Amino acid sequence: MIRGLSLPERQWALALSVALALLGLAMAAAARQGPMAVHGGMALALGLGLIFAVGGALYDGDAPADRAGRYYDDPTRFGIVMTLIWAVIGMGVGVWVAALLYWPEATPLWPWTSFGRLRPVHTTGVIFGFGGNALIATSFHVLQRTSRARLADALSPWVVLIGFNLFCAWAVTGYLMGSTQSKEYAEAEWYADLWLVVVWLIYFALYLRTLARRNEPHIYVANWYYLAFILVVAMLHIVNNLALPVSLAGTKSFTIWAGVQDAMVQWWYGHNAVAFFLTAGFLGMLYYFLPVRSGRPIWSYRLSIVSFWGIVFFYIWVGSHHLHYTALPYWVQTLGMTFSVMLLVPSWASAGNAIATLNGAWHKVRDDATLRFMFVAAVFYGLSTFEGSFLAIRPVNSLSHYTDWTVGHVHSGTLGWVAMIIFGAIYTLVPQYSGRAEMAWPRAVEWHFWLAVSGTLIYVVSLWNAGITQGLMWRAYDQNGALSYSFIDSVRAMAPYYLLRTLGGALFLGGAILCALNTRATMRAAPQGVVTGDHPLAPQPAE
Amino acid sequence: MLRLHYNLEKLSMGLVVAIIIVASIGGAVEIAPLFTIDETVEIPDDLRPHTPLELAGREIYLREGCYACHSQMVRHLADEIDRYGPYSLAAESAWDHPMLWGSKRTGPDIARLGGKYSDAWHVAHLIDPRAVVPASIMPAYPWLTATLDTKNLSAELATLARLGVPYGEALIANAARDALAQSRPESDGADGVRERYGEGVAVRAFDGDPARLTEMDALVAYLQSLGTLTAAARDTVGQEMGQ
Ligand code: HEM
């Protein structure tokens, strides 16, 4: 990895590593104890590790002379490895917390193993660790191919990836130690949030600088989605996380938002984390990998324009559908509901566009498990957006909200759509980077596909049943006008569904582990640095 | 239109600006009006802020992720009002940084929990939920018997005061002392707590042992305060029923 850097870049890398180590030292010294001190220690250790790695290789021969004439894929390769590591951690914790709901006595009596602390480890681990690394890694690949230009420099992609993973590691270890802002999907404390802002700005600058070097007149549609992901996530992250730390030398902070404003800001953030993290970015992935893998151009260019702007405009309004019948003003709830229903149009336009792209390539879908992952992703994308619009309708929401139906819906999107498209992209990229026609164990891809599909179906169907049962039990009245069931009756009724969900999740996790092992085997068997069948880079003047 | 877009695709900064504008409209329309808190949320006269002990309990509630299973928002629906009590008003959480409305009810809503059970019930339930409710799937929290750390409470109240929560100088200066005194009804400071936070504040040894101030004291004090910081919700719903 370091061999790909030129000498000045290595010197910069060394300087940045020293800066990171000093930052960690300063944090640890200022806080002296508690989560912030531990996080300072982690940054210090990472900084020192990087100093040794870079310092040791400082004068190890120059960067390859012809590197300007090649795409820079080392960061993407690292990003894929991190994606898979976080997949195993995040989904492993997911299966574990799912099991705890069936078998609560299994919790060891250590505070950090408790359900309430592990649940955000799961959500952050899969959304940011698994999803985020996949987005950043693939965005580098897609950006270079569709622009026919090499990344603007060789250092900032590493800053982005390493910095982002440090954020994820700070966040999840913080929850284990009990440090949390409690805002869903934004639980990390103030200093981690600030750190992410810095990383994100570097990411955005890298994206724009590379686009500026492009050798294609047009910016391909996948990049619009990646750009929307980067920009809007920055906006959401900054506004939602505005907070006042109790002390600069401590972890604890209070959000500046309170009560109903906080609820609105939180769900404006929360739902648009779904929209711009878990949807827009992944649509960018879909718009690149589906045509590449199926060998067919995107079905309709017009439809892709309409659905892009529709998604960017409509999604921002819908967060208030999380707050139906609450103390949020009624008109805001109504706006949220209305826009949620309208959102179905651009969502189905995207899903339809993807599926229509496969016309003429159905035999490939049948034979190629990788393309099948992408096809199933598009189908689940269509299904979950339909379900989402439906759940946003006020009377439906009165039944579904607070129940496991929501969790079922979330996972039909995250397992069926997000994870499937990621696996499709990984199975496309890894052989390509390893100079092979296919993965080391092609049959394992087939196995993974069926594990993933059956795991998702078991998960989602059991939680539909769970959620609807819960919702109906909570609102049931007997002839005398009294509530029919106590709350604990509904808890008892959940047991079989929670067990089934754990099983479905375990199948899905099994597939993910298979993918990680398969990737390792493929990367190890690679003749270094050969990329076959790639889109040609535009000829470059010598550096 | 298509022509325009055709050209827009050639301009990366053009796309950036267009995305920012298009993505800002919805948020601006829905969130901006809520900023004028005085007009959106009428603060009832009897609303009191959390005492330092309750605030410490709230932080334990965050730390342990209780909000992942419990909501604190009774919706305006007949069965919820029958099951939990008066529906929640915006004013009740006006000083909550952050709000804890929640999004999932693996356990019941607890917006109206205060006074529903005895302190001893809560202590037993938190230490081992299944000893009290055999079918419960709530985790056990035996480590809550640890001593409560009160040294940051003053700084925390001061931070909240800067964000608009009405903690005056006396409340900030006495925060740690008030936390201790609220769990020691016999101590000299107990009157001070009532004086500063109102007669309605519960002053008891919440965990049953006045000798030691524990995290359990704080959490139970917080749980018992839920829904009792103002009578506004009861009054509003009472009036609606009366009509
Ligand atoms: C191995 C597969 C997985 C299992 C077993 C699993 C399990 C769980 C469990 C038990 C919860 C808590 C539900 C509750 O509180 O009742 C949860 C929540 C959640 N999971 Fe997963 N999960 C898996 C994969 C994923 C993936 C891949 C993603 C995203 C990329 C994801 C995103 C989420 C989100 C966003 C929530 C919060 C849902 C809400 O608040 O409504 N999960 N998951």
Kindly give the confidence (pLDDT) of every residue in chain A, 543 residues in length, as a single tens digit, with 9 standing for 90 and above.
Answer: 778 888 889 999 999 999 999 999 999 999 988 899 999 999 999 999 999 999 888 888 777 777 888 899 999 999 999 999 999 999 999 999 999 999 998 878 789 999 999 999 999 999 999 999 999 999 999 999 999 999 999 999 999 999 999 999 999 999 999 999 999 999 999 999 999 999 999 999 999 999 999 988 889 989 999 999 999 999 999 999 999 999 998 899 999 999 888 998 999 999 988 889 999 999 999 999 999 999 999 998 889 888 999 998 988 888 888 889 888 888 888 888 988 889 999 999 999 999 999 988 899 999 999 999 999 999 999 999 999 999 999 999 999 999 999 999 999 999 999 999 999 999 999 999 998 889 999 999 999 999 999 999 999 999 999 999 999 999 999 999 999 999 999 999 999 999 999 999 999 999 999 999 999 999 987 665 555 567 777 665 443
- CB distance B162–A257 less than 8 Å? no
The reply to whether residue A235 touches residue B23, judged by beta carbons under 8 angstroms, is yes
- Do B69 and A487 make contact, defined as CB atoms within 8 angstroms? no
A residues 287-326 lying closer than 8 A (beta carbon) to B? 302, 305, 309, 312-320, 322-326
pLDDT tier at B24 (50, 70, 90 boundaries)? confident
CB of B19 within 8 Å of a chain A CB? The answer is yes
Among residues A455, A469, A329, A341, the alpha carbon closest in space to that of A405 is found at: A469
- Residue A70 has a pLDDT of 87
- CA gap A290, A384 in Å, rounded: 19
Distance of CA A419 to the CA centre of its chain: 9
Q: What is the pLDDT of residue B38?
A: 52
Residues in chain A closer than 8 A to B142 (CB atoms): 109
Cβ–Cβ under 8 Å, residues B123 and B213:
no
Query: Measured in angstroms, how far is the CA atom of residue A410 from the centroid of ligand 1?
Result: 7
Binding-face residues of A in 162-181 toward B, CB within 8 A? 175, 178-181
Compute φ and ψ for A235, nearest 5 degrees: -60, -50
Residues 246-265 of A with CB under 8 A from B: 246-247, 250, 252-265
pTM equals 0.94
CA B93/CA B99 separation, integer angstroms: 6
Q: What letter does residue A322 receive in the DSSP assignment? A: G
Contact A263 B101 (CB under 8 A): yes
Atom of ligand 1 nearest to the CA of A278: 30
Please choose from A407, A426, A460, A464 the residue to mutate so as to test ligand 1's pocket, defined by most ligand atoms within 8 A of CB.
A407
Contact list, A212 vs chain B (CB under 8 Å): 12
Asked if A80 and A429 count as a contact pair (C-beta separation under 8 A), the reply is yes
B105 touches chain A (CB under 8 A): yes
| pLDDT score of A543 | 39
Is B215:B144 a contact under the CB 8 Å cutoff? yes
Region B104-127 average pLDDT: 96
Q: What percent of chain B has pLDDT over 90?
A: 70
pLDDT of residue A339: 87
Determine whether the interchain pair B88/A326 forms a contact, defined as Cβ–Cβ distance below 8 Å: yes
The pLDDT score that the predictor gives to residue B233 is: 83
Residue A17 in contact with partner chain B when CB distance is under 8 A: no
Say yes or no: CB of residue A460 within 6 Å of ligand 1: no
Determine the residue type at B10. Answer: K
Nearest CA owner, ligand 1 atom 12? A119
Section B193-199 average pLDDT: 92
SS3 A245: strand
CATH class of B52-240: mainly alpha
> Nearest CA to CA, how far is A92 from chain B (Å)?
19
Select the residue of B40, B65, B159 nearest A116 (Cβ to Cβ): B65
Query: CA torsion angle for A22, A25, A30, A31 (degrees, to 10)?
Result: 140
C-alpha–C-alpha distance, residues A242 and A190, integer Å: 8
Sign of CA dihedral B50, B111, A245, A328: negative
Chain B, residues 25-44, CB within 8 A of chain A, namely 25-27, 29-31, 33-35, 37, 40-41
pLDDT of residue A83: 98
Residue B41 has pLDDT above 80, yes or no: no
**Residue in B19, B79, B107 nearest the CB of A483:** B79
pLDDT of residue A428: 96
CA B104 vs CA A404, A491, B70: distances in Å: 8, 13, 6
**Three-class SS state of B147:** strand
Kindly determine whether residue A305 and residue B2, on different chains, have CB atoms separated by under 8 Å: yes
Please give the span between the terminal C-alpha atoms of chain B, in angstroms, as a whole number.
56
Written as one string, the DSSP assignment of A93-156 is HHHHHHHHHH-GGGS-S-GGGSHHHHHHHHHHIIIIIIIIHHHHHHHHHHHHHHHTS--S-SSH
- A402 in helix, strand or coil? strand
Q: Please provide residue B51's backbone torsions phi and psi, each rounded to the nearest 5 degrees.
A: -75, 165
Task: Give the C-alpha separation, A273 to B199, whole Å.
Answer: 44
Sort strands A243-245 and A253-255 into parallel, antiparallel or unpaired: antiparallel
Residue B174 to chain A, least CA–CA distance (Å): 17
Ligand 1: atom nearest CA of A406 is 41
Confirm if A402 and A466 have CB atoms less than 8 A apart: no
User: Quick one: pLDDT at residue A228?
Assistant: 93
Partner residue facing B90 (CB), from A180, A235, A260: A260
Q: Does B82 touch chain A (CB under 8 A)?
A: yes
Tell me the shortest Cα–Cα distance from A486 to chain B, in angstroms.
9
In B124-153, the residues whose Cβ lies within 8 Å of chain A are 129-130, 133, 135-143, 152
Q: Looking at beta carbons, which residues of chain B come within 8 Å of A401? A: 75, 103
A126 lines ligand 1 (CB under 6 A): yes
Going by C-alpha positions, the residue among A225, A240, A200 that lies closest to residue A276 is A225
The mean pLDDT of B163-178, rounded to a whole number, is 94
Cβ-nearest to B64 among A114, A305, A332: A114
Q: What separation, in Å, do the N-terminal and C-terminal C-alpha atoms of chain A show?
A: 19
A131 lines ligand 1 (CB under 6 A): yes
Instruction: Report the pLDDT value the prediction gives residue A301, as an integer from 0 to 100.
Output: 86
Q: What is the pLDDT of residue B231?
A: 87
CB pairs under 8 A between A and B: 252
CA dihedral angle for residue B121, residue B124, residue B127, residue B130, rounded to 10 degrees: -90
Q: Is A91 in the pocket of ligand 1 (CB under 6 A)?
A: yes
Q: Which of A387, A405, A410 to mutate to test the pocket of ligand 1 (most atoms within 8 A of CB)?
A: A410
Residue B28: exposed, middle, or buried by beta-carbon count in 10 A (0-12, 13-18, 19+)? exposed
**Cβ-contact A153, A543 below 8 angstroms:** no
Q: What is the DSSP string of A301-321?
A: HHHHHHHHHHHHHHHTTGGGG
* Higher pLDDT, residue A405 or B14: A405
Residue closest to A220 by CA, chosen among A312, A307, A306, A304: A304
- Give CA–CA dist A417/A379, Å, rounded: 8
